[in-house]
Amino acid sequence: MKYKVNLEKNEEGYAVWCPGLPGCWSQGQTEKEALANIKDAIRDYLETAEELSKK
């Protein structure tokens, strides 16, 4: 599954978030690092959402 992400350069590097998953965001010092981090954040978000839906 693919999710759109927004990437924004700031003083600390890059901020990245997924508008389709409220509260799912990450950051990195480089664009590549930020995009890798958001992939992990999306995976964790979806795993947590699935676990919570089973309760």
Q: What is the pLDDT of residues 1-55, one digit of tens each?
A: 899 999 999 999 999 999 999 999 999 999 999 999 999 999 999 999 999 999 8
Cα 26 to Cα 34: distance, rounded to the nearest angstrom: 7
Cα 48 to Cα 25: distance, rounded to the nearest angstrom: 15
Domain with 47 in it: what CATH number?
Answer: 3.30.160.250
Start-to-end C-alpha separation, the chain = 24
Q: What is the pTM of this model?
A: 0.91
Does 1 reside within a domain?
Answer: no
Q: Which domain holds residue 20?
A: 6-53
Does 15 reside within a domain?
Answer: yes
Cα 26 to Cα 19: distance, rounded to the nearest angstrom: 12
Does 12 reside within a domain?
Answer: yes
- Specify the number of domains making up the chain: 1
